[in-house]
Amino acid sequence: MQLQDILYSQGFGTRRVCAGLIQQGLVTVSGEVVSEADRSFDPSGLNFTVQGVAWTYHQPAYLMLYKPAGTECSQKPSTYPSIYTLLPSPLRLRPQKGPVQGVQAVGRLDQDTTGLLLLTDDGKFIHRLSSPKHHVPKVYDVTTKHPVNVGQIERLLSGVVLDDDPHPVRAAACEATGTHQLRLTLTEGKYHQVKRMVAAVSNRVDGLHRSRIGELSLPPDMSPGQWRWLRPEDLRAVGYAAAR
Protein backbone atom coordinates (compact mmCIF):
# COMPACT_ATOMS: atom_id res chain seq x y z
CA MET A 1 0.00 0.00 0.00
CA GLN A 2 1.42 3.42 -0.92
CA LEU A 3 2.47 5.53 2.04
CA GLN A 4 0.25 8.45 1.02
CA ASP A 5 -2.74 6.08 1.01
CA ILE A 6 -1.79 4.73 4.42
CA LEU A 7 -1.75 8.23 5.90
CA TYR A 8 -5.00 9.11 4.15
CA SER A 9 -6.74 5.99 5.50
CA GLN A 10 -5.70 6.95 9.05
CA GLY A 11 -7.11 10.48 8.88
CA PHE A 12 -4.02 12.61 8.34
CA GLY A 13 -5.64 14.63 5.54
CA THR A 14 -6.50 14.36 1.87
CA ARG A 15 -4.22 12.33 -0.37
CA ARG A 16 -2.65 15.56 -1.62
CA VAL A 17 -2.01 16.78 1.93
CA CYS A 18 -0.56 13.39 2.89
CA ALA A 19 1.72 13.36 -0.15
CA GLY A 20 2.92 16.84 0.79
CA LEU A 21 3.71 15.79 4.36
CA ILE A 22 5.78 12.90 3.05
CA GLN A 23 7.62 14.95 0.43
CA GLN A 24 8.52 17.56 3.08
CA GLY A 25 10.25 14.86 5.16
CA LEU A 26 7.69 15.02 7.95
CA VAL A 27 6.93 11.29 7.97
CA THR A 28 9.08 8.51 9.36
CA VAL A 29 8.47 4.77 9.12
CA SER A 30 10.17 2.62 11.74
CA GLY A 31 12.49 5.54 12.47
CA GLU A 32 13.43 6.21 8.83
CA VAL A 33 12.43 9.44 7.09
CA VAL A 34 10.53 8.55 3.92
CA SER A 35 10.13 11.25 1.26
CA GLU A 36 8.55 9.19 -1.56
CA ALA A 37 4.75 9.39 -1.31
CA ASP A 38 4.27 6.38 -3.58
CA ARG A 39 6.63 4.10 -1.68
CA SER A 40 4.81 0.92 -0.66
CA PHE A 41 4.63 -0.73 2.75
CA ASP A 42 2.73 -3.59 4.32
CA PRO A 43 0.27 -1.59 6.43
CA SER A 44 -0.53 -4.34 8.92
CA GLY A 45 0.73 -3.12 12.32
CA LEU A 46 2.89 -0.48 10.64
CA ASN A 47 4.40 2.07 13.05
CA PHE A 48 5.07 5.57 11.72
CA THR A 49 5.18 9.20 12.81
CA VAL A 50 3.63 12.26 11.17
CA GLN A 51 5.06 15.59 12.29
CA GLY A 52 6.31 13.86 15.41
CA VAL A 53 2.98 12.17 16.19
CA ALA A 54 3.50 8.43 16.67
CA TRP A 55 0.83 6.23 15.09
CA THR A 56 0.10 2.56 14.43
CA TYR A 57 -1.99 1.52 11.44
CA HIS A 58 -5.47 0.34 12.39
CA GLN A 59 -8.05 -0.53 9.79
CA PRO A 60 -10.79 -0.44 10.90
CA ALA A 61 -10.51 1.52 14.14
CA TYR A 62 -11.82 0.17 17.44
CA LEU A 63 -11.24 2.07 20.67
CA MET A 64 -12.55 2.64 24.17
CA LEU A 65 -12.99 5.98 25.89
CA TYR A 66 -13.48 6.66 29.58
CA LYS A 67 -16.26 9.21 29.20
CA PRO A 68 -16.09 11.98 31.79
CA ALA A 69 -19.10 13.82 33.16
CA GLY A 70 -20.08 17.05 31.44
CA THR A 71 -19.56 15.83 27.87
CA GLU A 72 -21.99 15.01 25.08
CA CYS A 73 -21.87 12.03 22.70
CA SER A 74 -22.57 14.26 19.72
CA GLN A 75 -20.63 15.71 16.81
CA LYS A 76 -22.68 18.90 17.28
CA PRO A 77 -23.12 19.32 21.05
CA SER A 78 -25.76 21.73 22.32
CA THR A 79 -24.49 22.63 25.80
CA TYR A 80 -21.46 20.62 26.86
CA PRO A 81 -18.18 19.80 25.07
CA SER A 82 -18.25 16.87 22.65
CA ILE A 83 -16.53 13.60 23.55
CA TYR A 84 -14.87 13.79 20.13
CA THR A 85 -12.70 16.69 21.31
CA LEU A 86 -10.99 14.15 23.61
CA LEU A 87 -9.68 12.21 20.60
CA PRO A 88 -6.69 13.07 18.36
CA SER A 89 -7.67 14.70 15.08
CA PRO A 90 -6.78 11.69 12.85
CA LEU A 91 -9.51 9.65 14.57
CA ARG A 92 -12.01 12.43 13.88
CA LEU A 93 -10.91 12.87 10.26
CA ARG A 94 -10.70 9.28 9.06
CA PRO A 95 -12.24 8.90 5.56
CA GLN A 96 -16.02 8.85 5.55
CA LYS A 97 -17.49 5.32 5.43
CA GLY A 98 -21.09 6.32 6.04
CA PRO A 99 -23.06 9.48 6.67
CA VAL A 100 -20.46 10.85 9.11
CA GLN A 101 -16.68 11.16 8.95
CA GLY A 102 -14.36 9.63 11.55
CA VAL A 103 -15.04 7.18 14.36
CA GLN A 104 -18.52 7.09 15.90
CA ALA A 105 -19.72 6.25 19.40
CA VAL A 106 -21.48 2.91 19.75
CA GLY A 107 -24.63 4.17 21.45
CA ARG A 108 -24.70 7.21 23.70
CA LEU A 109 -24.30 8.11 27.34
CA ASP A 110 -26.01 11.17 28.85
CA GLN A 111 -23.87 14.22 29.54
CA ASP A 112 -23.79 13.49 33.29
CA THR A 113 -23.07 9.75 32.85
CA THR A 114 -19.50 8.50 33.06
CA GLY A 115 -17.77 5.30 32.06
CA LEU A 116 -17.03 2.91 29.23
CA LEU A 117 -17.79 4.09 25.71
CA LEU A 118 -16.75 2.27 22.54
CA LEU A 119 -16.04 4.03 19.23
CA THR A 120 -15.36 2.71 15.74
CA ASP A 121 -15.68 3.30 12.00
CA ASP A 122 -16.89 -0.29 11.48
CA GLY A 123 -20.63 -0.22 10.79
CA LYS A 124 -21.02 -3.95 11.46
CA PHE A 125 -19.51 -3.49 14.92
CA ILE A 126 -21.91 -0.66 15.71
CA HIS A 127 -24.88 -2.77 14.59
CA ARG A 128 -23.71 -5.86 16.48
CA LEU A 129 -23.39 -4.03 19.79
CA SER A 130 -26.42 -1.77 19.38
CA SER A 131 -28.97 -4.31 18.19
CA PRO A 132 -31.27 -5.54 21.00
CA LYS A 133 -31.48 -9.01 19.42
CA HIS A 134 -27.83 -9.70 20.28
CA HIS A 135 -28.42 -9.03 24.00
CA VAL A 136 -24.95 -7.63 24.75
CA PRO A 137 -25.06 -6.95 28.52
CA LYS A 138 -24.11 -3.51 29.80
CA VAL A 139 -23.40 -2.99 33.49
CA TYR A 140 -24.19 0.28 35.25
CA ASP A 141 -23.26 1.41 38.73
CA VAL A 142 -26.08 3.61 40.01
CA THR A 143 -26.13 6.05 42.91
CA THR A 144 -29.69 6.72 44.05
CA LYS A 145 -31.29 9.65 45.88
CA HIS A 146 -33.24 7.42 48.28
CA PRO A 147 -32.17 4.20 50.02
CA VAL A 148 -32.41 1.01 47.98
CA ASN A 149 -34.75 -1.68 49.24
CA VAL A 150 -35.50 -5.30 48.37
CA GLY A 151 -38.83 -4.42 46.80
CA GLN A 152 -37.20 -2.05 44.32
CA ILE A 153 -34.69 -4.70 43.28
CA GLU A 154 -37.43 -7.31 42.84
CA ARG A 155 -39.46 -4.94 40.67
CA LEU A 156 -36.46 -4.09 38.48
CA LEU A 157 -35.83 -7.81 37.97
CA SER A 158 -39.46 -8.71 37.32
CA GLY A 159 -40.06 -5.76 34.99
CA VAL A 160 -41.34 -2.20 35.02
CA VAL A 161 -43.47 -0.43 32.42
CA LEU A 162 -42.06 2.73 30.86
CA ASP A 163 -44.28 5.45 29.44
CA ASP A 164 -43.41 4.74 25.78
CA ASP A 165 -43.78 0.94 25.82
CA PRO A 166 -46.60 -1.19 27.24
CA HIS A 167 -44.28 -4.19 27.55
CA PRO A 168 -42.37 -4.54 30.83
CA VAL A 169 -38.64 -3.83 30.72
CA ARG A 170 -36.54 -6.09 32.93
CA ALA A 171 -33.02 -5.85 34.29
CA ALA A 172 -30.92 -8.88 33.37
CA ALA A 173 -29.32 -8.58 36.83
CA CYS A 174 -29.65 -6.20 39.75
CA GLU A 175 -28.05 -6.04 43.18
CA ALA A 176 -27.56 -3.51 45.93
CA THR A 177 -23.91 -2.56 46.43
CA GLY A 178 -24.60 -0.03 49.20
CA THR A 179 -27.45 1.73 50.95
CA HIS A 180 -27.80 4.11 47.98
CA GLN A 181 -26.05 2.06 45.29
CA LEU A 182 -27.23 -0.43 42.68
CA ARG A 183 -25.43 -2.50 40.07
CA LEU A 184 -27.80 -2.90 37.14
CA THR A 185 -27.26 -5.06 34.04
CA LEU A 186 -29.29 -4.31 30.90
CA THR A 187 -29.36 -5.94 27.48
CA GLU A 188 -31.42 -3.23 25.77
CA GLY A 189 -30.63 0.38 25.00
CA LYS A 190 -33.77 2.47 25.40
CA TYR A 191 -33.60 6.24 25.81
CA HIS A 192 -32.62 7.17 29.40
CA GLN A 193 -33.45 3.58 30.32
CA VAL A 194 -31.63 3.33 33.65
CA LYS A 195 -33.00 6.63 34.92
CA ARG A 196 -36.54 5.78 33.83
CA MET A 197 -36.44 2.28 35.32
CA VAL A 198 -35.20 3.57 38.66
CA ALA A 199 -37.86 6.30 38.59
CA ALA A 200 -40.50 3.62 37.93
CA VAL A 201 -39.67 2.01 41.30
CA SER A 202 -40.02 5.34 43.14
CA ASN A 203 -36.35 6.25 43.38
CA ARG A 204 -34.08 8.61 41.46
CA VAL A 205 -30.65 8.37 39.85
CA ASP A 206 -28.15 10.82 41.32
CA GLY A 207 -25.08 9.27 39.68
CA LEU A 208 -24.58 6.85 36.80
CA HIS A 209 -21.45 5.05 35.60
CA ARG A 210 -21.16 2.33 32.95
CA SER A 211 -18.45 -0.05 34.06
CA ARG A 212 -18.72 -2.95 31.60
CA ILE A 213 -19.93 -3.97 28.14
CA GLY A 214 -20.07 -7.72 27.61
CA GLU A 215 -17.01 -8.97 29.45
CA LEU A 216 -15.02 -5.80 28.73
CA SER A 217 -14.39 -3.47 31.68
CA LEU A 218 -12.61 -0.17 31.98
CA PRO A 219 -8.96 -0.80 32.89
CA PRO A 220 -8.20 0.30 36.47
CA ASP A 221 -5.37 2.55 35.26
CA MET A 222 -7.58 4.60 32.92
CA SER A 223 -8.77 8.05 33.98
CA PRO A 224 -11.77 10.04 32.76
CA GLY A 225 -11.05 11.53 29.34
CA GLN A 226 -8.46 8.91 28.34
CA TRP A 227 -8.80 6.54 25.38
CA ARG A 228 -6.96 3.52 23.99
CA TRP A 229 -7.14 1.08 21.08
CA LEU A 230 -9.08 -2.13 21.57
CA ARG A 231 -7.06 -5.33 21.29
CA PRO A 232 -8.31 -8.57 19.66
CA GLU A 233 -9.09 -9.99 23.11
CA ASP A 234 -11.16 -6.88 23.88
CA LEU A 235 -13.24 -7.46 20.75
CA ARG A 236 -13.80 -11.06 21.78
CA ALA A 237 -14.87 -9.82 25.23
CA VAL A 238 -17.78 -7.94 23.65
CA GLY A 239 -18.63 -10.89 21.39
CA TYR A 240 -17.17 -9.54 18.18
CA ALA A 241 -14.53 -11.16 15.96
CA ALA A 242 -13.23 -9.06 13.06
CA ALA A 243 -10.25 -9.24 10.77
CA ARG A 244 -7.68 -6.74 11.95
Q: Which residues are catalytic?
A: 110
Burial category of 82 from C-beta neighbours within 10 Å (exposed 0-12, middle 13-18, buried 19 and up): middle
Nearest to 169 by CA among 146, 192, 147: 192
Longest CA–CA span in the chain (Å) reads 69
Spatial separation of the C-alpha atoms in residues 203 and 147, rounded to whole Å: 8
DSSP-derived letter for residue 48 is E
CA dihedral 135, 219, 235, 41 (to 10 degrees): 160
